[in-house]
Amino acid sequence: MTRAASSGVAEPPVAGPGPDERLARRSPLRRLLGRPELGALLGAVALFVFFSVVADAFLRAGSFSTVLYASSTFGIMAVGVSLLMIGGEFDLSAGVLVTSSALIAALTAYQLTLNVWAGVAISLVLTLALGAANGLLYVRTRLPSFIVTLATFFMLAGLNLGVTKALTGNVASDSVRDMDGFDSARAVFASDMDVLGVNVRITVLWWLLFVAVATWILLRTRTGNWIFAVGGSADSARAVGVPVDRVKIGLFMGVAFCAWFSGMHLVFAFATVQSGEGVGNEFLYIICAVIGGCLLTGGYGSAIGAAIGAFIFGMTNKGIVYAEWNPDWFRFFLGAMLLIATVVNLAVRRRVERTS
- Closer to other proteins at the Cβ: 62 or 144? 62
Return the ∠ at Cα 203 (arms to 202 and 208), rounded to 5°: 100
CA angle 98, 132, 221 (to 5 degrees): 95
In the complex with other proteins, the residue whose CB is nearer, 237 or 259, is: 259
- Please report whether residue 318 would count as binding other proteins according to CB under 8 A: yes
CA separation for the pair 154, 166 (Å, rounded): 18
Output the CA torsion sign for 295, 331, 103, 203. Answer: positive
By CB under 8 A, the count of residues binding other proteins is: 34
- DSSP-derived secondary structure letter, 26: P
b/e per residue 140-153 (b: at least 16 CB within 10 A) = eeeeebeebbbebb
Tally Cβ neighbours within 10 Å of residue 317: 18
Least distance from other proteins to the Cβ atom of residue 257, Å: 20
Q: Is 63 in the site for other proteins (CB under 8 A)?
A: yes
- Which one of the spans 1-9, 57-65, 225-233, 335-343 is the region binding other proteins (CB under 8 A)? 57-65
What's the closest the beta carbon of residue 26 comes to other proteins, in angstroms? 42
Cα 31 from chain centroid (whole Å): 25
| Amino acid found at 354 | R
Residue 245 interacting with other proteins (CB under 8 A): no
Q: Does 52 bind other proteins (CB under 8 A)?
A: no
- Contact indicator for 266, 98 with CB cutoff of 8 Å: yes
Site for other proteins in 124-183 (CB under 8 A): 161, 170-172, 175, 177
Q: Give the x/- contact pattern for other proteins in 264-303, rule: CB under 8 A.
A: --x--xxxx-xxxxx--x----------------------
Q: Which stretch binds other proteins (CB under 8 A): 137-145, 303-311, 313-321, 336-344?
A: 313-321
Residue 204 as a binder of other proteins (CB under 8 A): the answer is: no
The answer to whether residues 106 and 120 touch, using CB atoms and an 8 Å cutoff, is no
Rounded distance, CA 354 to CA 205, Å? Answer: 39
73 binds other proteins (CB under 8 A): yes
Which of 8, 331, 353, 354 contacts other proteins by CB under 8 A? Answer: 331
Torsion angles phi and psi, residue 194, rounded to 5: -100, 120
What does DSSP assign to residue 22?
G
* Position 54 contacts other proteins (CB under 8 A): no
> Among 70, 116, 229, 341, which residue sits at the site for other proteins (rule: CB under 8 A)?
70
Residues making contact with other proteins (CB under 8 A): 57, 60, 62-63, 66, 69-70, 73, 161, 170-172, 175, 177, 266, 269-272, 274-278, 281, 317-318, 321-322, 324, 327-328, 330-331
